[in-house]
Structure 1
Amino acid sequence: MALAVAGLWFGSRYWYTEYIQFSLLDDMLDIRKYYLERDGYGFWVAESGGELVGTVAALPSSEPGGEKHLELKRLSVSKNHRGKGIAKALCRTVIDFAQQRGCQAVVLTTTFAQISACKLYERIGLRLMNTLAPELKFKFFGFKILAYQYDLPNH
């Protein structure tokens, strides 16, 4: 049992580290260029006492049929500032941005391990649309990706 738990811990740590490294080579390498200088993209930060405490990003969805959908990404709030409504405010910022742009919905994907994030999404009105089991190596650990959607009014 202990060996299985250790294997799960090291495996998840490896995939998480891989994800962070990929992100730093992709959109997070140059936030201004990737998010702020492109039409339909956005990046917001939350500050408290001059300290960066949260971030969120938005971009047009790349999913088929998602031309009028905006994808919420990079939602993060520092541990000391969680439970204060910051993540909710950042999500509302993306929803408002999508509505101003005439989008039909805000979409996002997350993992089943992000329990508190999933609860937040559901509290603010996102609906779980789909549960995806990715590559075989992830299926072994019961890893699932959850797809959420918030339908905007008047669409």
Structure 2
Amino acid sequence: MAPYHIRKYQDRDREAVIDMFIKGTLHNVTAGFFHLLKQPRSFLLLLGGTGAVFLGTGSFLLSLLALSVLLAFLWQIVRYPFNWHVDHTLRTCMKDIKKSYLSDRGSCFWVAESEGQVVGMVGACPVSEVSRGKKHLEMLHLRVRTEYHGQGIAKCLTQTLMQFAQEQGYDAVVLGTLCYNYPAQRLYEKLGFWKSHVAFDSLRWRMVAIPFVYYEYTVPSSL
């Protein structure tokens, strides 16, 4: 296991962080595709589409071609919300990471570095609208390079954020993760997060039947 340490983001990390963000996000497309295939509506579309072609033509070859076309269509449908998320994020909070995360003491962005290479990252921003005067910190963009999985980097990054939340006087840490990202869900639950609700983040995700699981962590008082 290569040693690593957690530090705040610097401008020289930008290329590695953006690359890790894009690859880490798009890596989820394949799992999202298989998740969609398991949904009844996808099964009906594939069965009904290929069945209709076979009944209309009597050709197995054309039926297989229709199946291929429908699978390609579903693949593109699944890619859409992930691509949108990448494009939107690069135009907003990751356009200028220092300005978005390090210009205010209530937010931050960390990277995990190993042997001079950035191998993990996570960001934290205050939630603007919280009821009853509570202060919530949102965890964003937790990523670890695939070849460094299993080394405890994601856990260390999350704990760093949790400690920051306590030092800054936040009441809770909140986050959302894909419904099929079970390793992340197990990590959060081991660290004391509890599942608050499951919901579609937008119509884009509802279209591909991928809800998010939202978690919350109650920050202990630093007093």
Using the size of structure 1 for normalisation, the TM-score is: 0.90
Q: Residue 172 of structure 2 contacts residue 218 of structure 2 at CA under 8 Å; is this kept in 1? A: yes
Q: 1:130 aligns with which of 189, 197, 202?
A: 197
Q: In 1, distance between residues paired with 2:175 and 2:128?
A: 11
Q: 2:165 aligns with which of 98, 102, 110?
A: 98
The structure whose Rg is larger is 2
**Residues 119/5 of structure 1: CA separation in 2 closer, same or farther (3 Å cut):** farther
Q: In 1, distance between residues paired with 2:188 and 2:70?
A: 31
Structure 1: segments with no counterpart, 5+ residues: none
Partner of 2:31: none
Q: In 2, distance between residues paired with 1:21 and 1:140?
A: 18
Q: In 2, distance between residues paired with 1:111 and 1:142?
A: 11
Measured after TM superposition, the shift of residue 142 of structure 1 is 2.0
Q: In 2, distance between residues paired with 1:109 and 1:10?
A: 24
Q: 2:112 aligns with which of 41, 46, 58?
A: 46
Partner of 2:182: 115
Partner of 1:14: 80
2:211 equivalent to 1:144: yes
Q: In 1, distance between residues paired with 2:203 and 2:117?
A: 41
Partner of 1:88: 155
**Secondary structure class of the residue paired with 2:176:** strand
Letter in 1 for 2:114: S
Partner of 2:24: none
**Secondary structure class of the residue paired with 1:29:** coil
Q: In 2, distance between residues paired with 1:137 and 1:46?
A: 31
Measured after TM superposition, the shift of residue 128 of structure 1 is 0.7
Using the size of structure 2 for normalisation, the TM-score is: 0.64
1:36-87 CA-partner distances (Å, limit 9, x unpaired):
1123010000011101000001111134327411111110000000110000
**Structure richer in helix, relative to its length:** 2
Q: Residue 106 of structure 1 contacts residue 149 of structure 1 at CA under 8 Å; is this kept in 2? A: yes
Provide the aligned length of Structure 1 versus Structure 2: 155
**Structure richer in strand, relative to its length:** 1
1:1-33 CA-partner distances (Å, limit 9, x unpaired):
355543332212121111001111111111111
For CA contacts below 8 A with separation 6 or more, give which structure has more relative contact order: 2
Aligned-residue Cα RMSD (Å) equals 2.0
Once structures 1 and 2 are overlaid, which stretch shifts more, 3-12 or 98-107?
3-12
Q: Residue 166 of structure 2 contacts residue 221 of structure 2 at CA under 8 Å; is this kept in 1? A: no
